[in-house]
Amino acid sequence: MKRIFIVLCVLVIQWSWAQTMKSIQEFGVKPENSAAVNKINLQKAIDWASPKGAALWIEPSNEPYHIDGGVALKDNVSLIGVHGPTPRGTIHENLKQPVGSVFKITDKDQVFITVKSSTQIKGIQFWYPEQTVNDPSAIIEYPATIQVSKNSLTQGVYLSCLSFYGEYVAFDFNASRQYPCELMTFEHCYGFPLSGQFIKMNYVYDVPRILHCHVNPASQRFIGGQITRKVVDAVIAKKTYAYTINNTDNAQIIDLFTFGTYGGILLGEQSYGQLTNFNFDCVAVGILKQGSNTKNRNWQIAQGSIIANTGEKVENIHPIIIEGQGHTSLTNVEAFSGGNSALTPVKEQMSWDYMLVRGDKKLTVSVFGARMRNYMSKEPVTIENEKATLQFSVCIDKNEQFYNKIID
pLDDT single digits (tens) 374-395: 999 999 999 999 999 999 999 9
* Structure confidence at residue 8 (pLDDT): 45
Cα(59)–Cα(100) distance, integer angstroms:
7
- Do 171 and 268 belong together in one domain? no
* Structure confidence at residue 19 (pLDDT): 55
* 48 is a domain residue: yes
∠371-376-378 over CA atoms, to 5°? 80
* 176 is a domain residue: yes
Question: Across all residues in the chain, what is the average pLDDT?
Answer: 95
Cα(49)–Cα(35) distance, integer angstroms:
21
Answer yes or no: is pLDDT of 16 > 70.
no
- Do 98 and 43 belong together in one domain? yes
- Do 146 and 34 belong together in one domain? yes
Of 216, 244, 261, the position where a domain reaches its end is: 261
Cα(231)–Cα(243) distance, integer angstroms:
19
286 vs 206, residue with greater confidence: 286
- Do 211 and 355 belong together in one domain? no
* Structure confidence at residue 3 (pLDDT): 62
Indicate if the alpha-carbon torsion angle 158, 160, 166, 168 is positive or negative: positive
Question: Helix or strand or coil: residue 136?
Answer: helix
Answer yes or no: is pLDDT of 13 > 50.
no
* Structure confidence at residue 224 (pLDDT): 87
pLDDT single digits (tens) 235-255: 999 999 999 999 999 999 999
The pLDDT > 90 percentage for the chain reads: 93
- Are the C-beta atoms of 268 and 291 separated by less than 8 Å? no
- Do 42 and 161 belong together in one domain? yes
Indicate if the alpha-carbon torsion angle 376, 378, 383, 384 is positive or negative: negative
pLDDT single digits (tens) 262-285: 999 999 999 999 999 999 999 999
E strands, 284-325, are 285-289, 299-308, 318-322
* 158 is a domain residue: yes
Mean pLDDT score, 334-348:
95
- Do 48 and 181 belong together in one domain? yes
The pLDDT > 70 percentage for the chain reads: 95
CA atoms within 13 A of residue 61's CA, in its CB half-sphere: 17
* 125 is a domain residue: yes
**Strand partners of residue 120:** 78, 158
CATH of the domain at 111: 2.160.20.10
- Do 135 and 214 belong together in one domain? yes
Mean pLDDT score, 363-372:
98
Cα(254)–Cα(276) distance, integer angstroms:
5
Q: Domain of 343?
A: 264-408
* 10 is a domain residue: no
Cα(205)–Cα(154) distance, integer angstroms:
10
- Do 80 and 165 belong together in one domain? yes
* 8 is a domain residue: no
Which amino acid makes up residue 222? Answer: F
Of 261, 280, 308, the position where a domain reaches its end is: 261
Domains held by the chain: number? 2
Question: Helix or strand or coil: residue 38?
Answer: helix
Answer yes or no: is pLDDT of 11 > 50.
no
* Structure confidence at residue 9 (pLDDT): 44
Mean pLDDT score, 369-378:
97
- Do 74 and 148 belong together in one domain? yes
* 1 is a domain residue: no
- Do 347 and 245 belong together in one domain? no
- Do 257 and 347 belong together in one domain? no
Mean pLDDT score, 336-359:
96
pLDDT single digits (tens) 125-181: 999 999 999 999 999 999 999 999 999 999 999 999 999 999 999 999 999 999 999
- Do 201 and 333 belong together in one domain? no
* 11 is a domain residue: no
Cα(310)–Cα(6) distance, integer angstroms:
65
Answer yes or no: is pLDDT of 17 > 90.
no
Which contacts of 18-24 are long-range, i.e. CB under 8 A and separated by 24 or more positions? 19/52, 19/54, 20/52, 20/54, 20/55, 21/54, 21/55, 21/56, 21/57, 21/80, 22/48, 22/49, 22/54, 22/56, 22/57, 23/56, 23/57, 23/59, 24/56, 24/57, 24/58, 24/59, 24/65
